[in-house]
Amino acid sequence: MPLTGGVVRPLLELAGLRKSYGGLDVLKGVDLAVAPGELVFVIGPSGSGKSTLLRCCNRLEEPDGGTVIVDGENILASGVDLNRVRQKIGMVFQAFNLYPHMTALGNVTLALRKVQGMARAPAEAKARDALAAVGLADKQAAYPIQLSGGQQQRVAIARALALEPKIVLFDEPTSALDPELVGSVLAVMRELKAGGMTMVVVSHELAFARDAADRVVFMDGGRIVEQGPPAAIFGSPREARTRDFVAKLAERS
């Protein structure tokens, strides 16, 4: 259902999103629309609200105001089946958050069995496919502690993908990784992008943002300060705050 001629309905639409913790406003009214297949990259100083923004999209944090519409459904509406909606929204965490008492296969299978009610054999087949898609076909029997950080994060991505989400949220997916392991995770994310997955990525990986992102959003103080194509944001930012931040990021990497 196009809104206007030629514009597709966004897959994720945030409007006037607000969140505060004990009097501290972390999000002060954020509007953001993400089109199907789009990779939106969110940058900003720590405390700018980018993680909170992401976590409001699947209600890991409960927004105080505004709307979150995922695939045409207002997920803040009363009576919405949150556990059903969450299957459409994959999430990948900075600390991987794999279940340490389960194998890689067990990690990916759990929600397929418990949430989607699949029988063991088809769930495991699907989980094996998901692990193969992130290059870990041979690690299905390994426990998280036996895997490198990069491998753990790829299992976490497989865990999210196995549920066939419409959109995947990445919360600093490479920040906890040793530099030499970052590439393997970014490669998987590139493949996802090539496969048409809609993604919102909070990260500091500038090079990745430059060549993979469709749009870069710069947040500061709980608001979106500036957004545009990566070349514009990194090359010729309009706002002074964006310029400062981008300069600092570039210095670091």
Partner 1 sequence: METLNTILEVFFNAEIAVRVFPFLLRGLGMTLLLCALVIPLGLAGGLALAWAASLERRWLRVLCVVYVDFFRAFPPLVLLIFLFFGLPFAGIDLPSIAAVGIGFFLNASSYYGEIFRAGVESVPKGQWEAARSTGLTRFQTMTAVILPQATRNVLPDLIGNTLEVAKLTSIASVVALGELLHTARLAQSLVYNPTPIVMAAMLYLALFWPVVRLLSRLEHRNIARR
Rule CB under 8 A: which residues touch partner 1?
58, 60, 83-84, 86-87, 89-91, 93, 95, 97-101, 110-111, 114-115, 156, 159-160, 163
Least distance in angstroms from the C-beta of 109 to partner 1: 11
Q: How far is the CB of 202 from partner 1 (least distance, A)?
A: 15
In angstroms, the CA 112 to CA 104 distance is 14
Rounded to whole angstroms, the maximal C-alpha distance in the chain is: 56
Please state whether beta strands 65-70 and 12-21 pair in parallel, antiparallel, or not at all (unpaired).
antiparallel
**Closest distance of CB 89 from partner 1, Å:** 7
What is the edge-to-edge ordering of all strands in the sheet holding 39-43?
Answer: 89-92, 167-171, 198-202, 39-43, 215-220, 223-228
Q: Which residue, 112 or 216, is less far from partner 1 as judged by CB?
A: 112
Nearer Cβ to partner 1 (15/60): 60
Task: Tell the smallest beta-carbon distance from residue 169 to partner 1 (Å).
Answer: 9
Of 213, 151, 212, 208, give the one whose Cα is nearest residue 176.
151
Check: CB of residue 198 under 8 Å from CB of residue 88.
no
Minimum distance of partner 1 from residue 210's CB (angstroms): 28
3-class SS of residue 161: helix
Q: Which is nearer to partner 1, 17 or 91 (CB)?
A: 91
Closer residue to partner 1 (CB): 75 or 224: 75
**Contact indicator for 33, 12 with CB cutoff of 8 Å:** yes
State the Rg of the chain over Cα: 18
Q: Which is nearer to partner 1, 71 or 226 (CB)?
A: 71
Query: Which C-beta is closer to partner 1: that of 53 or that of 111?
Result: 111
Torsion sign over Cα 168, 118, 127, 102: positive
Minimum distance from CB of 197 to partner 1 (Å)? 16
